[in-house]
Structure 1
Amino acid sequence: MTAPVRELATSLGRGPDLERLRAAVGEFARYGAADRSWERLLLATGPQVDPALAAHRRALLAWLNAWGCRLRYPRDGEPDVFGAETAAWWERWREHLPGQDATLATLGDTEIDVLGGCYADLSAMRATPGARPRSLGPTAATKMLHALRPGALMPWDAAIAEALHGARTADAYRAHLRMGRDWARHLLKETGLGERELAVELGRPGRPLAKMLDDYCYLAFTAAT
């Protein structure tokens, strides 16, 4: 890790300023596999992932596994548990997600409160077939929510969640979104830029601020361990 990004690990809980975020997204850009897996997801689903569609659910599962979630695919003759459970979850929660154009900085407290329940239900969802099925789990749940609303919802992994919040509960997820929202608002105020212009300024045009803040968290709390 370069020195500017290594310093991120010493700022536990504090958001990045412009130069720290620039260092983080520049370093994360070297992780090409992450961007390629996202591009494959979008090629399979179009610009928006719609879990009502079986093909999109299959693409979501492949993307989650590309990110190391290790969700077993159904064998011949086994039910598509992930597909069925995701479709049912989507029916329960689709109307409660932020709009497609929502951004992290625009999330309201009421929206975040509801998203905690959405996350908890998704995390507990049965995701694999077999005699010993497993739930989707906290990391995969936040990644899937990010895929559905990439402009608004930050993902996490176990290292990020534990370092910043000490837990991966619904309340911790709410705290993560509120923290990310505050970071986003501070950066936009600091720079005087809109989110699209900020991404261009950082050399990552089209990349949501929610994901660039996750890049920062990954380098500060996951890659640093």
Structure 2
Amino acid sequence: MHHAATAESDWWLRLVERWPYSEKWLAVSIASVVHAVSLWVPCLFFTTVAKMGWLADCKLPRERKDMDPKLPRNKSRDWDALIEQIFGTILLVPLFVYLIFPSFSLVGISLAKASPSMPEMLTHVALMIIGCDFLFYWFHRAFHHPWLYRFHKKHHEYQATNIWASEYFDVVDMVFNILPGVIPGLLIRTHFVTLMLFTLIRGWQTAMSHAGYDL
């Protein structure tokens, strides 16, 4: 390939060169792993914290009704959320990446490109955070409209913060929660590596906003 000379000194191009399948499957594989890490590490961490009784002073009330932090959690709903997140990790996220991958080529993003510099990564991550927050605010606000709320009300079965609520969505709602994290990167034609770094950051932000702890 015409990137062979550069691949000798660039870790990302070496990976792309040695990957035995198409760039699409490389993107699907890496994005699926990154999503799994950004979801399951916080979920398992905060579940362990709750089980062991750590950080008790930082724990937020579970229910808004009477703000009693000792209310029993809805374990059945947590199991439903667990099953759905397994389903999302194994099927929905890989399928989503597979379907949107052609848009990478449309905007001129190629995986066979040398890894980005640190200044470029930091700049693009900052731009994606701003863009994602803007889009997420308006998408989320739109889904509180009476006509669209039917797709969003499932997420609000959790009446207060809970780590298992972080990706407890209707499928339609889930897609529109992912898009704000993808669209800004496509618009600025960011490197795939930068997009994955942003995905990790965004995943942690999402987990922290649902974890139920004031850290």
Whose helix fraction is larger, Structure 1's or Structure 2's? 2
Give TM-score scaled by structure 2 length. Answer: 0.30
Structure with more contact order per residue of length (Cα contacts < 8 Å, sep ≥ 6): 2
Give TM-score scaled by structure 1 length. Answer: 0.29
Say which one has the larger Rg. Answer: 2
